Structure 1
């Protein structure tokens, strides 16, 4: 199978290098200013394409790893979009974090062209992407998933089929709401602790021994204790976007979202004050008084 990837950013770069290096599949990628440096991808044999249509025309599997639903829809249905040149029988795998209702619409558009669509959002970090150890939550036809498992195996540790199309993105938003929510709450507590001159190492130690023990604490602790943000290279603006999507999904479902509204307000304040490109652990600093 020939693979194309659109979105060679923090996560997509790791996917691309492993599709080439571990999977040994032919790979093309969309040349885009938002890409991470692609020297390694080119050295491994990857080739650049000027448009999504050009990429789709030479790919059996198209992987999308972009910011969210507006970008996915533009890439698929826009001028020179993927759907305009999609080969019958091709599979589009959307690894982005997107709205389930948009996913269903895009799935129908791909199906009308003779292709298949899977939503396969990721639940790990850029470090895991680089190491080929991502986890995927896959929605869609399980038979289609089985066809592309060899490609997915090149950059994942765990691939879970979670239900029909859209279920992957729904679960990803639920996951990110809990994950980003925990980290936002933790950052606010850590900021207050720092303002009160509580020893940061002691703060982390006490939480780790009690009800505050969590993956969120593990990922935030290096910044709380040593100012090291690199353990979680995830932008505050992306965290806010995920919470926005969760709130939209909740509104469409008629679900409760009071706590989500509070998290969204906290992250929006950080973005509006110029910290959108800070990493989530830096919320500890952003939330401090003064």
Structure 2
């Protein structure tokens, strides 16, 4: 199937457009469906992709469909809708959901698709739009062994690090653990910057010392390049998405019956920023927000050095 698979792609945002381009570069016939932004749709159609007018039409004409959407509600609508994927009644169809999604929703959708002879694979993403363009994303895949063998060559078109983490839903569970850590970093870094600057340190000193120590990592680098160096587009992940992911992680922890006090604090940091209308800001601007709550202008402090 991998050599001749007809691929569909729904969700051509920052990550999806690069992934779709890599599928085309690998020689797969591509059908796409966009949303509000016509730019990536028009660009891919100009390269030979075909535009579908509904998820159902895509399912009727493809072997494998990728979803790269914002949340589980959108995934549910695409699969269950009146002109959704299930309505196509296409036995053997495989859907690869790369959305960071709620595992409870994933389990329900996987069962419905299985009853219709279809397969749902969860394969959420790690890294950034840059790696999406380069075809070197991380993928955490949840499905049975036989299905993984089928989809791996397809996923290799856009991922450089592929891990089969377990059965259905385990990819989404793993992604929530990852984002719990990364959004925890963001909340910690934002508060650490405010603490240091309020105490009299230059933001650049904090960036340099921690960045040169064993505490450094790729997330720290792009976060500080945004918060301190003021590179606004270096870490393109919105507060709205972060708030959603931390809610899903909290729900997963609750479902597992565990105490999750740090999760509550992390979730509230993003919920508060979203609640005051800053959901479209990128995650590193949590540092500006935290500083502002403490009477500090972080941008001015960064310019002063």
Pairing 1:137-156 to 2, within 5 Å after superposition? 137-156=140-159
The answer to whether 1:24 aligns with 2:27 is: yes
Q: Tell me what 1:228 maps to.
A: 231
* Aligned-pair Cα RMSD in Å: 1.5
Match of 1:250 among 249, 253, 257: 253
Q: CA 1:274 to 1:213, structure 2 compared with 1: closer, same or farther past 3 Å?
A: same
- 8 Å contact from structure 2 (residues 191, 287) kept in 1: yes
Residue 11 (1) aligns with residue 2 (2): no
Question: 3-state DSSP class of the match of 1:190?
Answer: helix
TM-score relative to the length of structure 2? 0.90
> What TM-score, normalized to structure 1?
0.95
Partner deviation per Cα, 1:202-243 (whole Å, 9 max, x = no partner)? 111221244532232112121233111222100011001000
Please state whether the residue corresponding to 2:117 is helix, strand or coil.
Answer: coil
Deviation at 1:124, TM superposition (A): 1.2
Pair 1:45 & 2:16 matched: no
Which aligned pairs between 1:14-163 and structure 2 lie closer than 5 A?
14-21=18-25, 23-33=26-36, 37-163=40-166
| 1:199 counterpart residue number | 202
Measured in 2, the distance between the counterparts of 1:206 and 1:176 equals 25
Residue in 2 that maps onto 1:262: 265
**d(CA) in 2 for partners of 1:256 and 1:36?**
45
What displacement does 1:194 show? 3.5
The number of aligned residues is 289
Deviations 1:105-128 (A, max 9, x none): 111111111111211000111111
Measure how far apart 1:14 and its partner are. Answer: 0.9
Gap regions ≥5 residues in structure 2:
296-305
Counterpart secondary structure, 2:8: strand
* Residues 17 and 40 in structure 1, CA contact (< 8 A), matched pair in contact too: no
2: CA distance, partners of 1:52 / 1:97 = 19
TM-aligned CA deviation for residue 148 of structure 1: 2.0
8 Å CA contact retained: 1:8, 1:36 = no
How far apart are residue 130 of structure 1 and its match? 1.2
Which secondary structure does the structure 2 equivalent of 1:274 belong to? coil
